[in-house]
Amino acid sequence: MTYLALARKWRPKNFDEMVGQEHVVRALSNALDSGRVHHAYLFAGTRGVGKTTVARIFAKALNCEQGVSAKPCCECGACTGIDAGRFFDLIEVDAASRTKVDDTRELLENVQYTPTSGRYKVYLIDEVHMLSNHSFNALLKTLEEPPPHVKFLFATTNPQKLPVTVLSRCLQFNLKRLPSAQIVERMVHICADEGTDADPAALARLARSASGSMRAALSLLDQALAYGLDTLVDQDVADMLGSMDPRHINALLAALSSGDPAALIAEIRELDSLVPDYAAVLDDLATQLQHIAVTQFAGVESLDEDLDQATLQQFAESMDSDLVQLYYQIAVTGRRDLELAPDPRLGFEMSLLRMLAFRPGDAPAVTARPVAKTTSPQRQPVDTPQSAGSAGKQPEVPDDSDWPGVVESLAIDGAARQLAENCALESSTPFELSLSLDERNQHLLTDQLKSRLIDALRARLGTGLNVSFTMREHGGETVAARDARRAEQDLEQAKTAIETDPNVRKLVDLFGAEIDADSVRPAPPESRRD
């Protein structure tokens, strides 16, 4: 017998079965019941939150043989056909595999024809942001003047990439990540129906790992049932996920809180004996720090009940809030840069030592133990208690006046340098650089160029640097703007010099000549006289 994955078996077939997304379900239900159905809808959200599921239910509601309503019968030919993926008038397309304009034109060739068996011809385009600009232009004409029998349902994880002309013609609904409590509640129901004995702690762990995605949670549940032979035990789920025992994370935090390097190194060594995934450990550490920060500012009652609230309360009382924020930032940065380290263990260890080395406010930086003096005749005695107190070079903090020099010193060229020269410095800290870009230069902000610029900035200012970009209608002072202004000034000076030159004036007066202003070019800097 063919096994059907839980994510497919338990996929909602009507709006009543949807978990979460009440704001979307309510709006769509009211539109269906009132007959005020728009011709184009856009469902946006992260993966696994129910975008295509909502779209399919909506298609069933439009084509149910019992009539258009928010409660399709799920038994007629149209409903069962849509559930089985064999309803001719529901055309599902994965835009990621059909990005070319010819694909879109071919898709729209039959738009003008009436539905084969349903009430509406529904085009469901998944990951619609993957279409090319030419494809969007081909689609736009139909969106502007759609036939009355056609409905467009778009799904995307990145609505920002859609042209404004398309967005303005759609009703947009943003689907939210599901809270862990809702995911657990759904899995409890599924496990009971499947006859599976499930440990609540195991379900809570699976829900947290799903990061708000019901589909991911059910896939993990499938995997956990196979791992534990249809029995869910928290320790088995932890082993399957490679989760770290919270006691190790808390021990690391205790050593950091007390500023004890010896205890920290000892805990790292014990951790290393478990052969952990250090990226996952940094994730767990950052998550625990976030829980501590929430406890400090909003109270422990703001947290999920399945967390160790007593331990979090102790850390919240014993750790300075500034340190918690700093440790979180270093953990996230260290997680991102882990692959650049010579070895994951070394990168992890340096991240934690950096937490001890940089301490804000009145919290003194923990200095390393002085290096013992050596009496070797080949060397001079060494005593470095001051220089050993840093776990790495602290990043430089450029200001507005430094920024042009920083840009000019970057080891990049081509389009990446053009991006750097068109960025203005908004703000800077030892670990954060905020840059802005004029909206007219948005085409420069590609993933590849951003990556090259960020790598160059980290090489210049410090590997722990986090760089963010924002768009502005009128950007601030940039190297490109400064150079353009200087070039314009040089050109004006050159024109003035030509016009006032005595020899040129004689030629003008003698022959009635005119100066061709467009031909004037300033002399190269190296050829100018002092």
Lowest mean pLDDT among 7-21, 157-171, 462-476, 501-515: 501-515
- Give the three-class secondary structure for 151: strand
Q: What is the CATH number of the domain that holds 76?
A: 3.40.50.300
pLDDT at 82: 93
- Give the residue with greater pLDDT, 190 vs 502: 190
DSSP string, 241-293: HTPPPHHHHHHHHHHHHHT-HHHHHHHHHHHHTT---HHHHHHHHHHHHHHHH
> Is pLDDT at 530 greater than 50 in this prediction?
no
CA distances from 324 to 253, 267, 356, 397, 464 (A): 10, 19, 12, 22, 17
Residue where a domain stops, chosen among 174, 201, 219:
174
207: domain CATH number? 1.10.8.60
Q: In the prediction, which pLDDT does 196 show? A: 87
Whole-angstrom distance, CA of residue 38 vs CA of residue 115:
18
Query: Can you give the pLDDT at residue 391?
Result: 53
> Cβ(358)–Cβ(394) under 8 Å?
yes
- The predicted structure's pLDDT at residue 518: 67
| Ranges 143-152, 227-236, 237-246, 496-505, most confident | 143-152
Residue 193 is assigned to a structural domain of this protein: yes
Residue 483 lies in a domain: no
Looking at residue 30, its pLDDT comes to 94
Q: Do 199 and 288 have their domain in common?
A: no
Q: Are residues 320 and 299 in the same domain?
A: yes
The answer to whether residue 408 scores a pLDDT higher than 70 is yes
Q: What is the mean pLDDT of residues 12-32?
A: 92
Q: Are residues 506 and 452 in the same domain?
A: no
Domain end among 210, 241, 272: 241
Residues 439-466 have pLDDT tens digits of 888 888 888 888 889 989 888 888 778 8
pLDDT band at 271 (very low <50, low <70, confident <90, very high): confident
Q: What is the pLDDT of residue 520?
A: 64
The residue-averaged pLDDT of 465-483 equals 79
Q: Is residue 398 part of a domain?
A: no
pTM: 0.58
Check whether residue 214 and residue 312 sit in a common domain: no
- Reported as a pLDDT band with limits 50, 70 and 90, residue 241 is confident
In a domain, 364, yes or no: no
How far, in Å, are 205, 316, 319 from residue 359 at the CA level? 33, 17, 12
40 within a domain of the structure (yes/no): yes
Q: Residue 353 is part of which domain span?
A: 246-357
Instruction: Judge whether 386 lies within some domain.
Output: no
187 shares its domain with 164: no
pLDDT number for residue 526: 47
Task: Specify whether 141 is located in the same domain as 159.
Answer: yes
Tell me the two tokens of residue 510: 């003698």
Average per-residue pLDDT for the chain? 83
41-83 pLDDT, tens digit per residue, is 999 999 999 999 999 999 999 999 999 999 999 999 999 999 9
Instruction: Report the domain count for the chain.
Output: 5
Is 523 within the bounds of a domain? yes
Whether 448 and 301 share a structural domain = no
Name the residue with higher pLDDT: 211 or 510: 211
Least confident of 223-232, 270-279, 324-333: 223-232
CATH of the domain at 253: 1.20.272.10
Please tell me the distance from the alpha carbon of residue 132 to that of residue 138, in angstroms, as a whole number: 10
Percent above pLDDT 70 for the chain = 87
Q: Which of 174, 200, 224 is the last residue of a domain?
A: 174
168 with 202, same domain: the answer is no
- DSSP class of 361: T
Say what the pLDDT of residue 476 is.
Answer: 65
Tell me, yes or no, whether 415 and 446 share the same domain. yes
- Pair of tokens at residue 452: 């090259």
pLDDT of 393 above 50: no
Q: What is the pLDDT of residue 190?
A: 92
Same domain, 291 and 326: yes
423 and 307 share one domain:
no
Please tell me whether residues 169 and 103 are part of one structural domain: yes
CATH number of the domain enclosing 468? 3.30.300.150
pLDDT of residue 169 exceeding 60: yes
Helix (H, G, I), strand (E, B) or coil at 43: strand
Q: What percent of the chain has pLDDT over 90?
A: 35
Question: How confident is the model at residue 416, as a pLDDT?
Answer: 85
Does residue 199 lie within any of the structural domains?
yes
Tokens standing for residue 121: 């011809």
What is the pLDDT, as a whole number, of residue 12? 92
Of residues 484 and 523, the one with the higher pLDDT is 484
